[in-house]
Amino acid sequence: MSDQENIRKRKLKLIQSLGINPYPTNSIKINNNIKNILKNKKKLINDNKNLYIYGRIFNIRNIGKASFIDIKDYSDNKIQLYYNLNNLSTKKKNKKYFIYLFKKYLDIGDIIWIKGLLFITKMSEYTILIKNIKLLSKCLYPIPIIKKTTKKIYYQFNNIDKRYRMRYLDLILNPKIKNNFKIRFLIIKYIRNFLYKFNYIEVDTPILQKIPGGAYAKPFITYHNKFKKKIYLRISNELYLKKLIVGGFKGVFEFSRNFRNESIDKLHHPEFTILEIYIINKNYLWMMNFLQKLLIYICKKIFKTTIIKINKKIINFKKKIKIKKFYSIINKYSKLNINENTSIKTLKKICKNNKIKIKNYNKDKILDNIFNFFCKKKIKYPTYIIDYPIFMSPLAKSKTNNKKLVERFEFYINSIEIANAYTELNDPIEQYKRFKSQNKDKNIIDQDFLKALKIGLPPTVGIGIGIDRLIALLTNNLNIQEVIFFPQMK
């Protein structure tokens, strides 16, 4: 424990010795906030009515019998408070309370409630004259106070490790970070509003699953005591949502918390949020148009424009989105000649010649690594990548004119995959063949999903949108951990 913490703990005991509860339980009267006071300051001065507000102390200046305090509340606005012992007309007991509280026991970080009147100081600063004050919460951990000069900013709370571990302090000291999370809330809110307009149903599907299905990923494994068997945290909710479409809904969606026991970096996190949407009687081409309309709607609602800045690039979501074919874009940037018939032996050789690291030798993973190596950094503006090979898309419907390719697109901005969509494979026999070619072990094939397909999945399109990545882009952050409240730390 630091010296500062010890000093604050001693102050806490002295406050309690005065009969003051530093953490009171009574409800408090609040009739305004600082943002609203500053917005309507002239009217409030003319009204001359008592204001009841609360806030966290960010600065204390004691000058003789006078005291100035700067506080900030949840609206992230600051206001100055003023108090002078000479102006105090109250009982002796209360006067003692004020003296001790102001001169000896208040600290930066304390949360206080005040009753007072708004006025303008001789320095033309709008200030609240304190008539009454209560301590709501004593701050025992000293918080850094950021000081700005014309040349430099001092005591910034900008160490990434500390910021992520102490997000509560990060939110107090860095208003921009708090604003990122306000925008996160609004993005999710407006996505919901957009989908509600079409009467699509928001649903919940299981997080604990008997089989980790719907995607390639290493799952987190736990144990169910009642069933006496291993159980998995979901890596995807896709198969459950398609079962609901079989059950008769025209459109369903879920903001799904998924878990993958894999790497952590700027684009990946062990637990993440993905939006999955499934809609009947539509295909992947229709979904391209739907996704663009959704992005336009979000941007207009939040930013009042469809033009935003992402990593120094101006993106206009109203512009026609480019469409590039998977093999064509690889060959364009690699100067190679790869197609759906290229052998795994040739792909391995390409990786070796270009020093492309591959973690396993599945053809789909190798090809994905080749695409990432040659193409991802080149895709800066909104782009749909289409015509993926069938072996990379086991749940997607094949194209009519080329059975080796599927009706699928991935959506990229700023070299980041934001969404993955395809026309859903609804042939149960074909789906079983694909599952079997991937998994020799029948025990990890979702037989219940295949049973649902046998009952009949209507023509359906599905899309998964990486919510953390989308929010990071729209808030112009290059790291998804900036928009996850409490990212996992080592």
Alpha carbon distance 108, 21 (integer Å): 18
* 3-state helix vs strand vs coil in the chain, percent to 5: 35, 25, 35
Contact partners, residue 85, CB within 8 Å, separation at least 6? 65, 66, 95, 98, 99
Q: What is the pLDDT of residue 440?
A: 53
Question: Any idea which residue has 């609240």 for tokens?
Answer: 128
Tokens at residue 58, please?
A: 């960010």
Please report, for residues 129, 259, 287, 454, the alpha-carbon distance to residue 243 in angstroms, rounded to integers and kept in the order given: 63, 21, 20, 11
Q: Does residue 422 contact residue 240 with C-beta atoms inside 8 Å?
A: no
Residue 18: half-sphere exposure toward Cβ, Cα within 13 Å: 20
Alpha carbon distance 469, 474 (integer Å): 9
CA-derived radius of gyration, the chain: 29
Q: Does residue 357 contact residue 296 with C-beta atoms inside 8 Å?
A: no
Alpha carbon distance 26, 453 (integer Å): 58
What is the amino acid identity at position 82?
Answer: Y
Contact partners, residue 249, CB within 8 Å, separation at least 6? 201, 280
Alpha carbon distance 415, 461 (integer Å): 25
- How many helices (H) and strands (E) in the chain? 15, 20
State how far Cα 438 lies from the chain centre.
33
Alpha carbon distance 67, 114 (integer Å): 14
Alpha carbon distance 246, 256 (integer Å): 20
CB-count burial class (<10 Å; 0-12, 13-18, 19+) for 357? exposed
Q: What is the pLDDT of residue 96?
A: 60
Alpha carbon distance 348, 294 (integer Å): 39
Q: Does residue 211 contact residue 431 with C-beta atoms inside 8 Å?
A: no
Alpha carbon distance 401, 385 (integer Å): 18
The strand pairing partners of 82, in sequence order, are 68, 129
Per-run averaged pLDDT (10 residues), the chain, 490 residues: 90 88 92 96 94 96 87 95 72 60 85 95 93 92 81 79 95 94 98 98 96 87 94 96 98 97 93 98 98 98 95 94 97 94 93 87 90 96 97 96 96 97 98 84 80 98 98 95 94
All domains in the chain, ordered by first residue: 3-143 (2.40.50.140), 175-321+382-483 (3.30.930.10)
Tokens at residue 27, please?
A: 């409800």
Q: Does residue 428 contact residue 397 with C-beta atoms inside 8 Å?
A: no
Dihedral class, residue 245 (left if φ above 0, else alpha if ψ from -120 to 50, else beta)? alpha
Rounded to 5 degrees, what angle do the CA atoms 273, 276, 281 make? Answer: 175
Nearest one of 79, 30, 39 to 57, comparing CA atoms: 79
The pTM (predicted TM-score) of the whole model is 0.93
Nearest one of 392, 394, 343 to 371, comparing CA atoms: 392
Beta pairing class for 221-224 and 229-233: antiparallel
Please report, for residues 121, 147, 189, 274, 302, the alpha-carbon distance to residue 194 in angstroms, rounded to integers and kept in the order given: 48, 43, 9, 16, 13
Contact partners, residue 343, CB within 8 Å, separation at least 6? none
Rounded to 5 degrees, what angle do the CA atoms 391, 403, 444 make? Answer: 35
Main-chain dihedrals φ then ψ at residue 365, nearest 5 degrees = -70, -40
Nearest one of 266, 297, 301 to 468, comparing CA atoms: 266
Report H helices in 167-227. 167-173, 175-196
Element (H, E) at 419: strand 416-423
